[in-house]
Each structure stands twice: as structure tokens, then as C-alpha cells.
Amino acid sequence: MKTSYKNDYLTTTELRKRAKSKIPKFIFQYLDGGCNDNINLAKNIKELGDIELKPIYITEHKEADLKTELFGHTYDAPFGIAPMGLQGFMWPNAPEILAKSAGEYNIPFLISTLTTCTIERMNELAGGRAWFQLYHPKEPELRDKLLKKVEGAGCPVLVLIVDMPTKGYRPWDVRNGFDMPPEISIRNILQMMAKPEWVLKTIYHGRPTFAIMKSFKDAADGHFYFDHKLDEKKIAEIRNKWKGKLVIKGVSSEEDTETAIKLGADGIIVSNHGGRQLDVGQSSIATLGPIVKKYEGKIKIMMDSGMRTGPDIARSLASGAEFTFLGRNFMYAVAALGTHGGEHMIRSLKTQLKQVMEQISCVQVSDLKNHLVKRD
């Protein structure tokens, strides 16, 4: 497609470094951090990196095909853009840029309840295939209105997040007054002033708001509306009301997988929220193995957390994930490269993944599993 492949930003490390130089410090820390001592954030990346794939060289070599069928639609790649709140605050116009790239490249875009653009606009940009990630509203009437709105917008998949019964302990965010809405302290203002491109673009695109929640109440103060402590009853009620596909995100145990199946969910995203909620937990890739072993074929098993490269996506798929999602990567890319960030990241990940598949002799994404090096 359009953009030239920028030679300077071929790795996520380079994009992250450039994003850091362009986003106000307190906002970059919100994007980049995990929780507590960042142990699980590091484990997500390290333990994925430990996974090895075995090549078969003496064989018929064919071009790899990244197309992947999921919930009745064939996507052009086996990865999508994970939901992220406050996107337009991290980089002006970020949700619009990412939704548009996802639409153009035919990959799923997940809308966070707490993002800064309306459902209708993002779904239109994403080609009418955006999934909606629901933060569970406290009041049943608000929940029902929100579900109607999502249905009306035409989103085919509802993603219910279950891994936030508490607020993750993120010392830098507390220190920075980064809350819903963020505190405007002198220090934060100075940090914003130090990033003129961010300031100018924010002025141009207008102050970001919680665009989705804003249409329900006057003051869009995130936490007030939500009840993040989910149980079977609350999920069953949603299953009853939502006729489309239902995915439970934030699953980190066999127990929750079992419950998701029992309640009639169509899929799970094995995820530890990018290491932002439970520092004493397992990495997402460590959780994935036993879940795949026990529940493969009983529910769609997807995964996020810790993937930074095409080889990481290959590792996750080889370990049994049927689809993958990445969060921070896409925000780093948009902050680093603006309107080209989304498509740059998608193209880069596709190029890297295709190279791995053709190097080890995989034609289909599903072949990756046959190349996993197993250790006892």
C-alpha cells in the first residue's frame, strides 16, 4: 500500500524510543509501565522469548499464507489491535489512526469502553468489523443502553474484561496523579510543554474526552460508572442479552476457562493485561499451555501480553493460541510515526511473521504448532 517502509524504525525497540521522546513523560509512563515492580511485564517478554521453533529445510518451499478465519470472517493476519483506554490522550487522534489501519489491512481492532473516539466513528474506520471491549457498567440500565449502542453500531464481537477486580498498583501513575481523569499539576503541564508536537497536535484535534461514556452522562469520570468485580451471574446476564460473539478477556487460569465455556462464551483471550494488574502472576505464555492442552477445540483460545515482534506472534501461535493481540506496540508506533504508525506496525509484523513461517516451512498459520520445540 502507500507508505514507504521507514528504514529507521524496523524494530519495536526503536519505535518505543522515539515514542518516549515525543509523549509527555507522565503519559509515557502510563503506557509503558506494568505494575508494582514490573516483574510480570518482564516475564511476559522473557518467557515468550524462550520458546523455540524447529525448522524443516529439506522440503517443498511454498509462500506462507497469513490469512486466518475467526468468528466467520477471514482476516489477513493472525493478529489484531488490543483495546486501550485513553488512546487519544497518549497520542492525538490515535484511535482513529489505528482503527483506519486495521480496516485497511483487514485485521481486528478492539474498541475500549474508555477510549477517546465514538464507537460509530471507530467502527466505520475499521471497516464495520471492530470488536467492542466492555467495562462492566454498575447500573443495569447503563449496561443495557451501552450494549444496544454497540449492537446498533454493528460491532460483531463483544469482549468482556474480567481481570480488573482491583485497580493495578502502579506507583508511577499514583505519583503522577494519572487517574480518570488525569490530574493537571504544574509538573504535568511542564512535561506536556516539553513535547511541542504532542501539544500542537492536541490543540489541533481538540482535548480528548471519554467519547463513549460522555454520551451517557455529563461528567465522563471513568471509575464511577463501572463494577469490575465480575461473577457468573453478571456474565450470564450479558450472555443472555448479547446475540453476537462473546469473548472473555483477561483469562489466566483453567478455572476461568471452564467457567467461560460453561457460560456460553465463544472465545477467551488469555491475557494478564500486559502485566499491569498482578505482578505475582504467571506470564501469559506460561498460562496458555495448560489451557490449550485441556480446552483446545472447546472454545476459541486467543492470547495477548508481551508480544513485540513477528517471531513472538509465531511463538504464541505455535504454543496453541488461535489468534493474538498486541497493545503497546501499536501505541509506540503511532506516537513515533503519527498517521503512518498503524500501517507501519502491521506491515512490519506481517513481514517478520511471514519470514519465520517460510524459514521453518509453514504454509498455513496452523502449521506453526508442528514446529514447537517441546521440553519436559
Task: Examine residue 249 and tell whether it contacts ligand FMN (CB under 6 A).
Answer: yes
Whose Cβ is closer to ligand FMN: residue 14's or residue 358's?
14
Which pairing describes strands 131-134 and 157-161: parallel, antiparallel, or unpaired?
parallel
Whose Cβ is closer to ligand FMN: residue 304's or residue 322's?
304
Active-site residue flag, 273: yes
Rounded to whole angstroms, the Cα distance separating 195 from 105 reads 31
**Binder to ligand FMN among 170, 273, 315, 350 (CB under 6 A)?**
273
Mutual angle of helices 186-193 and 196-205, in 10-degree steps: 100
x/- letters, 142..181, toward ligand FMN (CB under 6 A): -------------------x--------------------
Task: Examine residue 306 and tell whether it contacts ligand FMN (CB under 6 A).
Answer: yes
Task: Examine residue 49 and tell whether it contacts ligand FMN (CB under 6 A).
Answer: no
**Binder to ligand FMN among 15, 19, 31, 299 (CB under 6 A)?**
31
Distance of CA 138 to the CA centre of its chain: 24
DSSP letter (8 states) at residue 185 = -
Whose Cβ is closer to ligand FMN: residue 164's or residue 363's?
164
Whose Cβ is closer to ligand FMN: residue 38's or residue 106's?
38
| Pick from 61, 107, 68, 59: nearest CA to 363 | 61
> To the nearest whole angstrom, how small is the minimum distance from the Cβ of residue 288 to ligand FMN?
13
> For the chain, first and last CA: distance in Å?
45
Whose Cβ is closer to ligand FMN: residue 83's or residue 88's?
83
> To the nearest whole angstrom, how small is the minimum distance from the Cβ of residue 120 to ligand FMN?
18
Rounded to whole angstroms, the Cα distance separating 45 from 325 reads 14
Rounded to whole angstroms, the Cα distance separating 160 from 227 reads 12
- Closest chain position to ligand FMN (CB): 327
Catalytic residue among 136, 228, 273, 344: 273
- Specify the 3-state DSSP secondary structure of 158: strand
- Compute and round to an integer the Cα radius of gyration of the chain: 20
Give the ranges where the chain is alpha helix by DSSP (H).
Answer: 12-22, 25-32, 39-49, 87-90, 94-105, 119-125, 140-153, 171-176, 186-193, 196-205, 211-214, 232-241, 254-262, 284-295, 310-318, 328-337, 341-360
**Binder to ligand FMN among 307, 346, 349, 357 (CB under 6 A)?**
307
Task: Examine residue 268 and tell whether it contacts ligand FMN (CB under 6 A).
Answer: no
- Stretch 187-246 residues interacting with ligand FMN (CB under 6 A): none
**Binder to ligand FMN among 12, 29, 133, 319 (CB under 6 A)?**
133
**Binder to ligand FMN among 188, 191, 271, 352 (CB under 6 A)?**
271
Task: Examine residue 84 and tell whether it contacts ligand FMN (CB under 6 A).
Answer: yes
Whose Cβ is closer to ligand FMN: residue 110's or residue 360's?
110
Task: Examine residue 82 and tell whether it contacts ligand FMN (CB under 6 A).
Answer: yes
Q: How far is CA 272 from CA 70, 168, 211, 281, 307, in A?
A: 22, 11, 26, 8, 12
Q: Indicate if the alpha-carbon torsion angle 213, 216, 219, 221 is positive or negative.
A: negative
**Where on the chain is the footprint of ligand FMN (CB under 6 A)?**
30-31, 44, 82-85, 112, 114, 133, 161, 249, 271, 273-274, 304-307, 326-328
Query: Which positions are annotated as active-site residues?
Result: 273
